[in-house]
A and B are shown apart, each in its own frame.
Chain A
Amino acid sequence: MAQLVKTEEAISKIQDGMTIMVGGFIGCGIPEQLLEAICHKQVKELTIIANDTGILGDAMSQLIVKRCARKVMASHIGTNKETGRQMTAGELEVQLVPQGTLIEQIRAAGSGLGGFLTPTGIGTVVEEGKQKLVINSTEYLLELPIRADIALLNAYKADKAGNLVYRRSARNFNPIIAMAADVIIAQVDHIVEEGEIDPDEVMTPGIFVDYLVQKQPREVSNLD
């Protein structure tokens, strides 16, 4: 059952050294209020699993700029030059993963699967160290599931049972990471009563969600 809590209480679940997943795609659909609170709390040594590390200046990018991370797993880091700089300087471990593989590794973990076979990465550096299998004369890589301690989501609407609705391209990684961590925290624009979201419109079933945080108007949520 989802609990409605304040940002600070939700973020208190995040400790130094944890692995966190973050929803969003190059600045769209990121839980910026939660990320700002992590930076403000100066959490350290995180392993961050996300599509990308934001656009330099946005809340996602600040996790890297403020040195909250020890390691990043992402498909793309080109829009935040600080990630590349820290990687080149040996200050941050970066593992680049094809986007379709990364999201499926997360989906596999959340779905109780031991992994999956993908043709993506065959004949490239991505195949190094991975088991190859031939199925019906096509070569595949065995990719393993990825879980996290905490997943941070951005949703457009939630009811108090935790059922979530996303908007347009802000959906991206959010509903998938909602299944693949021990604690799920969702930052939500609009929180409504149970029954106000039609069951057919729910995109993430409420049983996945542990904490709901009401997104505040930007001037209120600015913790700096």
Chain B
Amino acid sequence: MTKEARMDWLVRRVAQEFKNGDVVNLGIGIPTKVAGVLPEGIKIILQSENGYLGGGPAPEKGKEDPNTVNAGGQYATILPGGCSFDSATSFAIIRGGHVDVTVLGALQVDEEGNLANWMIPGKLVPGMGGAMDLVVGARRVIVAMEHIAKDGSFKILKQCTLPLTAAKQVNLIVTDMGVIEVTPQGLVLKELAPGITFEEVQACTEASLI
């Protein structure tokens, strides 16, 4: 499989995790693409932490509304049935357990379900935005990312070395190599991407897979 095909598999595989009617918050990057590949019969309600529910696709060129942007600062749309609200209400929705699933990228994730995705000391300090609240508050946390970093280093570790976004909150890791569930016994490799073997995934993972 080509790299593109594997990334496409990843995005479609994440989409299969949703139930009809789930309230979902998607992080920037790979997670955002999931909204475009939902299985037949599955509708989700997209939550955007800057203050709306019912997020739709990007607007057509020329129809952008400067007052409707997503949490990444890009022009967005709100579907019929959607609503807007202030940031305090938005984080009441997030921390209060009213978001069913959040899908985020990660720099590192470990076998205890710890997540690091907000800073690299001395290099990258953009801030945590709403990520810390989302990971703590959402009922289910799915990490969607490439299995190894661009420099070839491992991202799925025995223990995260970067500053954490949250401790022990990740439920599922979906990568371009497979689907890994975080359990009290450790990381369970539930499913392999087409053409990938267990041994290949383990060779790209510092933590031991079950």
Residues of chain A whose beta carbon lies under 8 Å from any beta carbon of chain B = 25-29, 51-52, 55, 74-79, 84, 87, 96, 98-101, 103-104, 106-107, 118-126, 156, 166-176, 203
* Inter-subunit contact B73/A26 (CB<8 Å): yes
Q: Which of B69, B87, B90 contacts A27 (CB 8 A)?
A: B69
| Chief secondary structure at chain B's binding surface | loop
* Inter-subunit contact B133/A122 (CB<8 Å): no
Within 8 A of A (CB), among B112-163: 114, 125-133, 136-137, 163
- Whether a CB of chain A sits under 8 angstroms from the CB of B110 is no
Q: Which of B66, B86, B90 contacts A174 (CB 8 A)?
A: B86
Q: Which of A74, A76, A103, A124 contacts B87 (CB 8 A)?
A: A103
* Inter-subunit contact B66/A28 (CB<8 Å): yes
User: How many residues from B make CB contacts under 8 Å with A?
Assistant: 43
- Extra contacts, 4 of them, besides A126-B128, A168-B52, A168-B65 (Cβ < 8 A), are A106-B88, A120-B95, A168-B67, A169-B69
Residues of chain B whose beta carbon lies under 8 Å from any beta carbon of chain A = 48-52, 65-73, 76, 78, 84-88, 90-91, 94-95, 114, 125-133, 136-137, 163-168
A84-B125, A124-B165 are contacts. A99–B87 as well, Cβ < 8 Å? yes
* Inter-subunit contact A176/B88 (CB<8 Å): yes
A120-B95, A123-B167 are contacts. A76–B126 as well, Cβ < 8 Å? yes
A169-B69, A169-B76 are contacts. A28–B50 as well, Cβ < 8 Å? yes
